[in-house]
């Protein structure tokens, strides 16, 4: 049996930790795109956050990003960066939190790649998100929504726009999801549904209402040349509509709807308002919140819970209007013995 030399036996098994630059490259090139399967839009948002952070760190640490070490990511540096975003760059709290979320995702990635850096990761993850007052969700009433969708006219653009808005309302789809729908994604029988390709390359199937099915059948009869791989809602050049196309067509539809729904005048109504409207109308119709989460493709239940809070706020506002303004509400006044009891607690 061969014997090991003294040098071989005494040589320690040293593990060289990956460099900061190598971790960043692996995070973007492998983890976000290959393992997480995030969209190009999300990866770009993470990239922008890192560009801002590395530029700030370079001025604070007086070293190039390639010379940085993972141990440089101290809570103090991260907090200073977040203050820089709010004070110097005038970022909103929401944007500030989004930048921090990108850094926290990177920190958790490093924790799996380099166990020796766990203590640094734990300290850096202690930097909290900043709380802020969320504005009440904007949504349309059922009557306003139907007025915005309108009635299809004889023209090609008119029929496409009505189908676009009806499909967005039916499915609660994000803009990226509705413009990404192919003809093959539409199932009209036996159970009508549409397959949506959502955030993080997640797919979900959403049932279609009968009114939406009728619009789809009419659209496909009008466009017999659309093959399964074609965009369901193309522009005049036959390509998929863009985000700006959808925003423009919605704006025109809202302008037309103000003739029958004056309450729409002067309001900022975005494609996401239609998504909020879908969720609120489902909730008000008695649909379970877990079903709404699946309908909208929410990854976190807390995202769906905001619709419950908005609905409760709306009901409280309606309740306050029901109270007779001539009646002065009496405040409860405890007797002395009860007051004395409460003071002892």
Active site amino acids:
174, 199, 272, 275, 298, 307
145-151: long-range contacts at Cβ-Cβ below 8 A with a sequence spacing of 24 or more?
A: 145/169, 145/274, 145/277, 145/281, 147/257, 147/260, 147/261, 147/264, 148/250, 148/253, 148/254, 148/257, 148/261, 148/264, 148/269, 148/274, 149/253, 150/253, 150/256, 150/257
Q: Residue 77 half-sphere exposure, CB side, CA atoms within 13 Å?
A: 22
Strand partners, 240: 234
d(CA 193, CA 208): 5
Alpha helices, DSSP H, located in 131-225: 142-149, 156-171, 175-179, 210-222
**How is 214-236 classified by DSSP, letter by letter?**
HHHHHHHHH-TT--TTSBSSB-T
Cβ(275)–Cβ(174) under 8 Å? yes
Cα–Cα distance for residue pair 55/72, rounded to 1 Å? 14
């Amino acid at each position: 049996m061969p014997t090991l030399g003294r040098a071989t036996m005494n040589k320690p098994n040293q593990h060289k930790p990956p460099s900061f630059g190598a971790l960043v490259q692996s995070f973007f090139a492998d983890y976000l795109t290959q393992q997480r399967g995030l969209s190009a839009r999300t990866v770009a948002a993470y990239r922008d956050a890192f560009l801002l952070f590395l530029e700030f760190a370079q001025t604070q640490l007086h070293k190039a990003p390639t010379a940085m070490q993972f141990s440089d990511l101290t809570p103090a540096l991260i907090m200073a960066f977040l203050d820089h975003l709010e004070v110097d760059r005038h970022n909103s709290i929401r944007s500030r939190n989004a930048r921090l979320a990108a850094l926290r995702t990177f920190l958790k990635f490093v924790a799996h790649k380099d166990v020796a850096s766990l203590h640094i990761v734990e300290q850096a993850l202690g930097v909290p998100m900043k709380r802020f007052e969320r504005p009440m969700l904007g949504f349309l009433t059922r009557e306003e929504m139907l007025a915005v969708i309108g009635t299809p006219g004889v023209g090609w653009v008119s029929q496409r726009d009505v189908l676009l808005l009806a499909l967005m309302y039916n499915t609660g789809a994000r803009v990226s999801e509705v413009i990404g729908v192919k003809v093959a994604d539409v199932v009209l029988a036996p159970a009508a549904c549409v397959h949506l390709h959502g955030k993080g390359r997640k797919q979900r199937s959403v049932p279609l209402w009968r009114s939406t099915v009728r619009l789809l059948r009419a659209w496909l009869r009008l466009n017999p040349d659309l093959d399964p791989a074609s965009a369901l809602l193309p522009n005049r050049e036959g390509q998929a509509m863009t985000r700006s196309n959808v925003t423009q067509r919605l704006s025109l539809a809202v302008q037309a709807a103000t003739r029958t729904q004056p309450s729409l005048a002067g309001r900022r109504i975005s494609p996401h308002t239609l998504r909020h409207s879908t969720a609120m109308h489902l909730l008000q119709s008695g649909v379970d919140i877990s079903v709404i989460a699946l309908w909208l493709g929410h990854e976190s239940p807390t995202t769906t819970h905001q619709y419950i809070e908005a609905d409760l706020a709306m009901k409280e506002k309606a309740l306050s209007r029901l109270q007779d303004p001539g009646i002065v509400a009496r405040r409860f006044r405890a007797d002395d013995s009860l007051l004395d009891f409460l003071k002892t607690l």
